[in-house]
Structure 1
Amino acid sequence: MKDLSSNGSRAPENIEQIYRILYENLPDGLVGFDKNGRITICNDRVLEMFGYSLEEVIGETFDVFLPPEQKKTAWKAFVEGIERGHSLYIGIETIGLRKDGTTFHFHINSTVVYENEEVTGYFSLVRDIDDRMNALEALRMSEQRFREMISSVPEGIATTDLDEKLMFVNDGFAKLVGYKVGELIGMSIMDLIPSEERNTISEGTVGRRMGIASSYNLTLIRRDGQKRNTRVSAAPWVDAAGTIIGTLAVVVDITEQIQLEHDLSEMKARYLLITEHSKDLIATMDMNLHFTYVSPSVRDVLGYEIDELLHKSAVDILTPESLELMGSSLLESLELEETVGKDGYEAPPLEFEIYHKNGFTIWAEVSRVFLRDENDTPIGILGVVRDITKRKIAENNVRTSLRELELYSSLLRHDIGNDLQIASGAIEGARLTTGDISKVEKYIAMAQASIERMVGLVTLADTRSTGPVEKLGDLVKQRIRQAESVHSGLKIKLHAKGPARDASLASGRLLPLFLDNMFRNTSIHAGPKSKIIIDLQKVGNNIQIDIVDDGPGIAAEIRSSIFQRRVSTKNGGMGLYLCKRIIEGYGGTLEMLESSPLGKGAAFRARLPMRDPTDMTP
């Protein structure tokens, strides 16, 4: 290795050999100095670090590699090192200055070389530690941020040694127990815990010595004596060597949470008490309409046991019409929520027809709201079901009464007018008849029967019942007897077997007037000695009433409009119109048959719904 020092001196042969070994094998930079501190040699690694060529640094002092603010400090450390010892190994960390003006961290180890007790030069190993220093700075900043985070988090964080003395607490822990941070350091954690709970800490510390973490509830006593409920998560605290030296714990104040849970539990108990004793049925369903909860009142409302209904869905108990109504209303609610929001829409109560366990149906008013998850997404339905069957019956009775009242006013004018004509005719006949007492008595009987029917018609207005017609056959027989008394020569025969004779109709306060008008029409249009055959049959859930006479039948020109108002070949033409109104008012039908079973005359067929034998409603 050629000596390029300014004084031309040559290094000892053994030193040159050392230079060469270091030069060729060390990954760090190698710099040689003469006794005046000027560079005599350096390897390529040093040149790469600082960005110089060899010619640019030979003969320069090490200052060429240092920024101005570091030169004094670096040389002071170097000189002090030489003064402290013979053949001293000197290590310095400082900042280097590259030729392009950028800086970096490096570490330099220098050795003083002596010959015959005199300093002849120095060797320095230079290592780039910029990455390490950057990492250390990042670590320091991370540690600082971590400490700031630990100090600022609201949860309490504390460490204790194996003797339960507090070694570190953050502001959150100090605030929790009402002390200052400095007052807590060195205090035993046992001083903050009720005596009856101290075993929890002792047992936890035993586990911590074995490396076991644990979580538990613990009461802490504040400086002012107030007790706070906390949840503690504790883990072993280890040093750099991995030795367990204590406990690291995170302490969360759950006092308000426990109080809230207690209040919520009491509230649930109250609501459960209300729910369990409510006469209304309270139920929840998932979004597939399967029941998830039903209150005990289900026994009274629908006849089911709780477990029975929990295995069913709304599909099983709603009539098809009500199920369709429920589906459309739920869909409408979901669509409206998307446009006006869940708080801008309140679903109105709906009326559903529901199957009772015993087979009949009840009417119920249902109020409902959606059950929601933490994202306010509907996950179920809460419904309150109130039995309104009696109300519906009352409403139906009112509607029926109003409809009957309208028909009755028409019938009153129509039937009383006809009966007055009959009574007047009979009285006039009796007045003109002389000598034949039996004939007079017959006229008087006709007039009396007409008057009785008029009285019955007036009395009908005071009949408050809109309930079912019991034993249809008895009603028809009673109207037959009266019609044969009023209409001289009229003969009526009834055919009725057991099921039809004893049938009960759902309703029919005006049914006697229907029969009276049908009989009167025959008497008027078929003649005084006409015959009527009435056939009662049970057809499905209906009673079929066929009324056939032996008269001339219905004129062809009015057959298509026979049930219209004021269509007739005689009188006012209101009879059949009113008859049809009566039958349809009770949910039935009235039609004229194309042909008569007798081969002549008029034939009519009425169908009326029977009363459901399972219907338990009044």
Structure 2
Amino acid sequence: MPEQTMKDNEEQVSKDGEDTSTTIQLQRRNTLLDAINHILIEAKDCKNLEDVAALGTTIIIDLLECEYGLFAEFYRKDEIKILYQSNPGFASSFLNEMKLGDFHKITKPIRPVRTEGVSVIHNDLQDMLPKKIKKSAPINLTNFIAIPIKRSGNIFGFFAFADGKREFNGHDVVDIQTLTVPFIQAYDRKTSEIALTKSEERYRNLVLQSSQGIVVIKGPAPSFIFANPSISKTLGFSHDELLNLSPEEIINLVDPEQRVDFFGRFRKSLRGEKVSPYYMVRALNKDGTYRYLEMFARRIEFEGETAIQATFIDVTARKLAEERIQRREKEYRLLLETIPEGLMVVGLDESIVFANKALSEMLLYEPEELVTMNLKEIVTKRDLSLLQFETKKRKKEQASTYEIEMVRKDNEVRIFRISAVPSKDADGKINGTIAVCIDVTERKRMEDLAEQRRRESDLYASLLRHDVGNDLQVVLGYIEAIKMFSSDLTGTANEMIESAFAAAERMSELVKSFDKLDKEVEANISKMLTKIAKQAEKTHRGMKIEIDYPETENLKVAGGSLLPMAFENILRNSAQYCGNDPKVDISISRDLEDVIIIISDNGPGIPEEIRPRLFSRGISTTGGGLGLYLTRQIIWACGGDIELLDSKNGSTFKINLPLLF
């Protein structure tokens, strides 16, 4: 054969070899690209990580045309978790000590994978595996390859493949490593999807089970696009009813007084303007009642739309309780402001914390002025030590009542009776005094005046007992002497002497009664009135007195020594106003626990104009006006009463006295 021809044949063979190699490389690349696309596309339909592991492992097995394959994760330091293996016996051939299902301890053939090395075994594994594994292994492996897989720079697992009829080479390693890239992408995407799904499920469960109401509202016309069961229950709607409310119905859920402000904030927040996320809204329940809801709202993106997510806490019970407390506080404050007694709250340092209107009027200060003052500025210097002494009692949790002098704004000194109790804070610690203040200045002056009058009365009584009594004894002595030495006196002269003697005796008895003012006298009322009547007939010429009383009853009354004077005053008035022939009728009867005495005369009666004030001091038709006033005072002192009855002729008095059993 010519030399040129041989050369040409050699070149042709070489060219044919190159073409064949190129064709094989192209086929291998296309197969690899198909495998990559296969992994990326079909991984989207995988439901879990095990499905992704099965997909990747199966595609590589098909590419390598080998018998066995698996994918595993490094679970802990010395354990792995197999997510997929093509044959259950494959793992047992190179992993020993099965532990908890698919968890295995790593043996020597896998150790290079830990250090990113490719573990390739071209010979029988019998020499490398423990004898117990050799005896129990169902598969006699000849050729083995393990490829580490990295994620975020860290090794987290490996692929392992084996075949009893072929040896793996460098191209196989490259192909596997090439396919691990789309596999990791698919694996990470599925991991993220699972984590996101779990997160969404947890969040959704939290939202649906939350005791707080949660809604998502889009605008500008308000429309609910999400509402959890809690807010539906709070507003009294079903879930579907709430989501199907029209914008107008949603607006009507808010108290009319809040609508403009509430939805103005809603629209501002939608536009991204800065508004406070907190709001207290008064929402209308389906049944027409209002609920108080604390709201926290923020702008979010929800399903591609700008919306407002609002969280509500139902604080109706707390709010109503607060309103009740405020209402009671207002009522109590109104009560404190309207009571006639002065009221103040004072700290332990005597600073005035509160003063009501009544006290401010008593002291001529405004309440606002008093709360800037200290009680020491108002109390007189003489009583400062008393004030300090009383404050010490409060510190010992003692209450007390005392009288103290305080100076008004016009510098007038007033006397106050103070009823004080300790004031306590919310923790029960004493922090001051609550004091009720009553201005007793006028009462004290009246008491002082009464005491002065009592002393004067005692003096007058002493004078009556001593001087007037002595003089009356002289008068009586002279009248007795006139009767002895003038036995020839007859007619009118004798009657006049007898009347004067009777009057002097009555006055003598009256003066003697001042010696027994404090003594209670037990008296048979019938006997008393009979004696008084006889004495009156002697004293007042021409007077006739008739007494009607039940003889079968012994009616006794308890009265002071001045009680006879009350009846004598009434009889004296009858003698004075009934002319020359005065007649008086007295009846005595019993009414349950009282003795009733009716005294009537034949006089002209009491003028109509003075009847309403008849028993007042200084009321009379002839001057004086003390007799009936004293009569009523004496009867009152005995526990009884007197009144003027209507009558056609003369005057009629009704007297009630308590019966003594």
Question: With structure 2 as the length reference, what TM-score do the two structures score?
Answer: 0.39
Question: Which is greater in Rg?
Answer: 2
- Alignment TM-score, normalising by the size of structure 1: 0.42
